[in-house]
């Protein structure tokens, strides 16, 4: 039965149970000459050598199966097991500990479980539940590649619970759906899920057993930059897999600025960040337009849409994007009327651009009058 020293997020009991698949016995323990610090710019902890410091944590007695699950999970994030000598109230103990394989260059100071839990515990539990469903099916490297998207999906799941009770549509809740089976048929940057279920019907009773496939993605923030003084908008042009895979001869598309909401990030913060990354823009005001599912019959993706007021001088157009994400983005300035002409011409052929231009056509006189 392996004995393991945990010092970070696995001290959170629900997460430890999800990862190990059991409720292991734990004992408070200390590791001399080490400190638990927060990785620079991240939410997770690192255990680093530090003379005179003492790292506190838990000595966990895992089963062989529980250890195999936890080791697979930790290896995905670049950690490796090493032996260590601990102190407990009952005396010295030898145990294993997961340490980063590459020494961190910098950190953001001491890491605290109590500070981490309010913002990250629930998200981490949901993401880990998805991750551990692939134990034995993915390599640690494959899990590491997919885990950020798992966190995005977990964050979107939590955000979906904030929706108020509907006033017009039925108030039937998801706990009335009878889920008979669920499996993920594909996991990569996105995932697809096949559910077998029954749901309540408007006539009363339950539906027949249904098999439904869902494309599962995180939320996205979308913003149309608008200069009310110059009366122009900025659009981005880039290659898009949707039209390409559909068979379009012209898979480059004009769109508003858009991007995935990172784990722990608000949609508003994402919209401002993407404006910088994709267009080099510092938005002055962010006007919320609406939030919606683009295709609720089969996709979980959810859009948070905005119009961003900003300055759009002639010098703005250029090429942008994050190299690590393979982005190749060209920005274009269009007078408002020219942008509206894209709709009848068929060049505003994506929902967010169509919606945001239509919203702007209604609000434009007010925004110009305030400029």
Would you please indicate which residues are annotated as catalytic (active-site) residues? 325
Ranges of H-type helices in 253-333 = 267-279
Longest dimension (CA), the chain: 78
Distance between start and end Cα atoms, the chain: 69
Whether 348 has a binding-site annotation, put simply, is no
Burial (CB count <10 Å: 0-12, 13-18, 19+), residue 317: middle
- Helix, strand, coil tally for the chain in percent (to 5): 30, 35, 30
Distance CA 59, CA 40 (A): 26
Q: Give, for 145, the enclosing helix (H) or strand (E).
A: helix 140-160
User: Coil, helix or strand for 17?
Assistant: helix
Give the DSSP H or E segment for 338: helix 336-345
CB burial readout 2-16, b (16+ within 10 A) else e? bbbbbbbbbbbeebb
Q: List phi, psi (to 5°) of 324.
A: -65, -20
Q: How far apart are CA 278 and CA 97, in angstroms?
A: 41
Q: Is 274 annotated as a binding residue?
A: yes
Binding site annotation covers 327?
yes
Q: Which residues pair with 192 in a beta bridge?
A: 186, 215
Contact 322, 277 (CB under 8 A): yes
For residue 335, the tally of other CB atoms under 10 A from its CB is: 12
Is 258 a known ligand-binding residue?
A: yes
> Which residue, 137, 122, 123, is CA-closest to 183?
137
Residues annotated within a binding site for Mg(2+) = 258, 274, 278, 327
Residues annotated within a binding site = 258, 274, 278, 327
């Amino acid at each position: 039965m392996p004995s393991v020293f945990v010092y970070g997020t696995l001290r959170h009991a629900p997460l430890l149970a999800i990862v190990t698949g059991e409720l292991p016995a734990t004992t408070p323990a200390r590791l001399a000459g080490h400190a638990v610090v927060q990785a620079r710019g991240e939410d997770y902890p690192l255990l680093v050598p530090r003379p005179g410091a003492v790292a506190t944590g838990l000595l966990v007695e895992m089963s062989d199966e529980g250890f195999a699950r936890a080791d697979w999970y930790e290896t995905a994030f670049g950690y490796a097991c090493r032996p260590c000598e601990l102190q407990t109230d009952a005396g010295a103990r030898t145990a294993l500990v997961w340490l980063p394989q590459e020494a961190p260059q910098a950190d953001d100071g001491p890491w605290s479980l109590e500070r981490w839990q309010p913002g990250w515990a629930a998200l981490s539990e949901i993401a880990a539940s998805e991750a551990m469903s692939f134990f034995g099916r993915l390599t640690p490297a494959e899990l590491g590649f997919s885990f950020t998207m798992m966190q995005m999906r977990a964050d979107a799941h939590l955000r979906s619970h904030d929706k108020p009770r509907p006033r017009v549509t039925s108030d039937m809740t998801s706990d009335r759906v009878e889920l008979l089976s669920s499996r993920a048929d594909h996991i990569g940057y996105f995932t697809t899920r096949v559910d077998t279920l029954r749901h309540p019907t408007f006539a009363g009773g339950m539906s027949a057993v249904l098999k439904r496939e869902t494309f599962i993605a995180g939320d996205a923030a979308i913003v149309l930059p608008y200069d009310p003084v110059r009366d122009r908008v900025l659009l981005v042009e880039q290659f898009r897999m949707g039209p390409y895979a559909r068979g379009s001869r012209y898979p480059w598309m004009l769109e508003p600025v858009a991007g995935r909401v990172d784990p722990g990030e608000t949609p508003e913060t994402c919209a401002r960040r993407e404006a910088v990354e994709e267009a080099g823009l510092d938005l002055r005001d962010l006007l919320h337009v609406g939030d919606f599912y683009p295709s609720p019959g089969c996709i979980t993706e959810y859009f948070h849409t905005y119009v961003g007021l900003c300055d759009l001088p002639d010098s703005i157009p250029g090429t942008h994007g994050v190299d690590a994400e393979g982005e190749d983005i060209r920005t274009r300035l269009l007078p408002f009327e020219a942008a509206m002409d894209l709709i009848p011409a068929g060049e505003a052929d994506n929902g967010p651009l169509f919606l945001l231009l239509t919203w702007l056509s209604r609000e434009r006189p007010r925004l110009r009058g305030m400029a």
